[in-house]
């Protein structure tokens, strides 16, 4: 199975410092479920500005973890919610993004 995360950026960003890499991964593992829950709640409420804000908050962390597919998805969610366009596609896109994040978190737990 292809890896969902690529820690190349994180290794470069931390100068290869194992402790810092683990720290950033742990921060992601703590913050990601909360942000996903926020995104889900905002989506359910059709609070598109709130959904955009939650996606925007999670985006840099997804990028740091090298989640290429997740980066593309979260940017689409942020853009669609911000512009309130194609909102009928958001539930399916969020479900896909959520599942990807869940799998990536499991992958990262094994990496540390």
pLDDT band at 2 (very low <50, low <70, confident <90, very high): confident
How many Å apart are CA 85 and CA 104, to the nearest integer?
28
Within 10 angstroms of residue 54's Cβ, the number of other Cβ atoms is: 25
How would DSSP label each residue in 29-72? HHHHHHHHHHHHHHHHTT-HHHHHHHHHHHHHHHHHTT-HHHHH
pTM of the model: 0.94
96: three-class secondary structure by DSSP: helix
* Tens-place pLDDT, residues 6-19: 999 999 999 999 99
CATH 1.20.120.160 is held by the domain 8-111: yes
14: three-class secondary structure by DSSP: coil
Give the pLDDT mean for 32-47: 98
């Amino acid at each position: 199975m292809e890896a969902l995360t690529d820690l190349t950026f994180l290794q470069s960003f931390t100068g290869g410092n194992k402790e810092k890499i683990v720290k950033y991964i742990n921060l992601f593992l703590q913050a990601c479920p909360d942000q996903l829950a926020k995104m889900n709640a905002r989506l359910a409420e059709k609070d598109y500005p709130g959904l955009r804000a939650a996606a925007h908050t999670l985006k840099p962390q997804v990028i740091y973890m090298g989640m290429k597919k997740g980066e593309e998805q979260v940017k689409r969610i942020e853009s669609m919610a911000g512009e309130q366009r194609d909102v009928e596609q958001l539930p399916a896109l969020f479900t896909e993004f959520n599942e990807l994040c869940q799998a990536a978190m499991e992958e990262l737990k094994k990496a540390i």
